[in-house]
Amino acid sequence: MEIKATTKIYGIFGHPVSHSLSPVMHNSAFSALGLDCVYVAFDIAPEEIGNAVQSLRTLGIKGINITIPHKESIIPHLDEIAPDAELMGAVNTVRNDDGKLTGYNTDVGGFLRAVEEDLGINPGGSSVLLMGAGGAARAVMSAFCMNGAGRICVANRTYDKALKLASEFGKQFKKIKIEPVALDDIRVIKARLAESDILVNSTSAGMEGKTAMDLPLEALKENAAVYDLIYKPRETPLVTEARRLGHRASGGLGMLLYQGALSFEIWTGREAPVDVMRKAIE
């Protein structure tokens, strides 16, 4: 890759960010299409997010991805927010149009495409058991609610967080039954597993270096699917166990890929070379 005075700069803001696969994914896409662009990672401390956003205008950085812990705190520093990002209360992509900064959220579209292509899941009318109530869970909730899910059960270790998330989305999507439950209420968890078309893990349980979630997967509805947002390791204990029991299951690499492809298209106006990007991150 040749860096010139005309090279357009893109990147990612996060803390930490050294583990990110986004640079290799986007640089492979730029190279495949012959674009004079480069993508780099910026480790931004939480208290510096305002200064970092201003640097986009000052330095003419054309676009940026946003990851933990900045997805919510960046919003007050932007000029405009797209409707999907406003619903989620989180931004993961920023486009710079001559100093005007617009925030988007491609996690929703990335998740939808991943579950549809990897697992054959159609959100319409589906029954969902969602593990977790944090930022990633909001993307999953938004995806299913905006596409007509029938019922969503939000299970979280801290019940109050599950209640808050369920109440917030329940007010906006009154036709969908949204129920909070404590993760340690095994009786209810088993009942919801038996009724769900898809189980989604949005927590960090099972990530490299972290203990896997202990779920009674034998109670899961026949023909139900399992999606784990974690992509390191490629196959989490949850995915392994689900497949052992005969369920369709996938890790989160597809969501990473497709949300990245959507960001690429927002920035460049070009169709993302998804196969190239997939090969790069695999």
The domain that holds 31 is classified in CATH as 3.40.50.10860
Instruction: Tell me if 26 is assigned to some domain.
Output: yes
Position 222 confidence tier, pLDDT thresholds 50, 70, 90: very high
- Regarding whether 240 and 112 lie in a shared domain, the answer is yes
Taking residues 40-56, what's their average pLDDT?
A: 97
Residue-number span of the structural domain to which 216 is assigned: 108-254
- Regarding whether 116 and 157 lie in a shared domain, the answer is yes
pTM metric for this prediction: 0.89
pLDDT for 90 beyond 80? yes
Nearest to 225 by CA among 153, 132, 118: 118
> Domain boundary residue among 105, 121, 150?
105
Pairing of strands 93-97, 63-66: antiparallel
Q: Per residue in 154-187, pLDDT tens?
A: 999 999 999 999 999 999 999 999 999 999 999 9
Instruction: Tell me if 267 is assigned to some domain.
Output: no
- Regarding whether 120 and 61 lie in a shared domain, the answer is no
Residue 114 to residue 132: CA distance in whole angstroms: 19
pLDDT for 282 beyond 90? no
4, 8, 62, 71: the catalytic one is 71
Instruction: Tell me if 259 is assigned to some domain.
Output: no
Annotated catalytic residue 8: no
Residue 243 to residue 190: CA distance in whole angstroms: 18
Q: Per residue in 256-275, pLDDT tens?
A: 999 999 999 999 999 999 99
pLDDT for 207 beyond 90? no
Residue 150 to residue 176: CA distance in whole angstroms: 5
Residue 242 to residue 227: CA distance in whole angstroms: 10
- Regarding whether 151 and 48 lie in a shared domain, the answer is no
Instruction: Tell me if 243 is assigned to some domain.
Output: yes
Position 88 confidence tier, pLDDT thresholds 50, 70, 90: confident
pLDDT for 1 beyond 80? no
- Regarding whether 188 and 115 lie in a shared domain, the answer is yes
Pairing of strands 37-43, 151-156: unpaired
Taking residues 202-228, what's their average pLDDT?
A: 91
Instruction: Tell me if 144 is assigned to some domain.
Output: yes
Instruction: Tell me if 276 is assigned to some domain.
Output: no
